[in-house]
Amino acid sequence: MLTIAYLADHPEHIPELAARHHGQWSHLYPGETLADFENHLRSSAQRGALPLTVVALEDGGPAGSASLIAHDLDSHPELSPWLANVHVAPPYRSRGIATALVKRIIDEAFILGVPTISLFTTGAPDFYRRLGWRSILHETCQGVPITIMSRPMNQGLD
């Protein structure tokens, strides 16, 4: 059974999640080590404040995670907060877990009174569009094409 919980309640999964995140995105953050990724997750292991991370748990293990953080791209300090670190481990993909994680982060942002959330994606803009996000910019990050998207919080959830 899938459960979405605060990482604050399951800090034992931080090393595994950090390794996954580092493997997936370290090329976008040159100079950030595995320890840096782990430290970012440790700082987001909280509730009711930025940054926060939620983890999808299945059979007691981490199937995926998502975060709400203040800033994700130094090139856009005007955008805040950001949906970040949406990751589902390969064995758990195509089962709606990413959608559940994104919706949970939207709920958390709503509770915090956030008017708009931003994100950037390297290859999944259609996934986010289906969840109410709209593209606002196309640029590159470390030579990789990205789409920056936003979602007003006054939209209903599907």
pLDDT at residue 74 in the model: 87
pTM score, two decimals? 0.92
pLDDT number for residue 154: 75
Mean pLDDT value across residues 111-119: 94
Query: Residues of the chain with pLDDT > 70: what percent?
Result: 97
Residue 64 and residue 76 in contact, taking contact as beta carbons nearer than 8 Å: no
Domains and CATH numbers, the chain: 2-114 (3.40.630.30)
Q: Residue 130 — very low, low, confident or very high, per pLDDT cuts 50/70/90? A: very high
The reported pLDDT for the residue numbered 139 is 93
* pLDDT confidence band for 23 (50 / 70 / 90): very high
Predicted confidence (pLDDT) per residue in 39-66, tens digit: 999 999 999 999 999 999 998 899 999 9
pLDDT (0 to 100) of residue 120:
94
Up-side HSE of residue 52: CA atoms within 13 Å toward CB? 21
What pLDDT does residue 158 have? Answer: 47
Contact 17, 42 (CB under 8 A): no
Instruction: Give the whole-number percent of the chain exceeding pLDDT 90.
Output: 88
Tell me how long the chain is. Answer: 158
- The two tokens of residue 133 are 């996000």
144-152 and 82-88: which strand pairing? Answer: unpaired
User: Would you place residue 155 in the very low, low, confident or very high pLDDT band (cuts 50, 70, 90)?
Assistant: low
Which two tokens mark 72?
């994700």
Task: Give long-range contacts, CB 8 A cutoff, 24+ apart: 88-94.
Answer: 88/56, 88/63, 88/64, 89/20, 89/62, 89/63, 89/64, 92/56, 92/58, 92/63, 92/64
Neighbours of 48 (CB within 10 A): 10
Q: Which pLDDT score is estimated for 126?
A: 94
- CB-CB neighbours of 144 under 10 Å: 12
Q: Quick one: pLDDT band at residue 146, thresholds 50, 70, 90?
A: very high
Q: Which two tokens stand for residue 71?
A: 């800033």
Q: For residue 80, which amino acid is it?
A: S
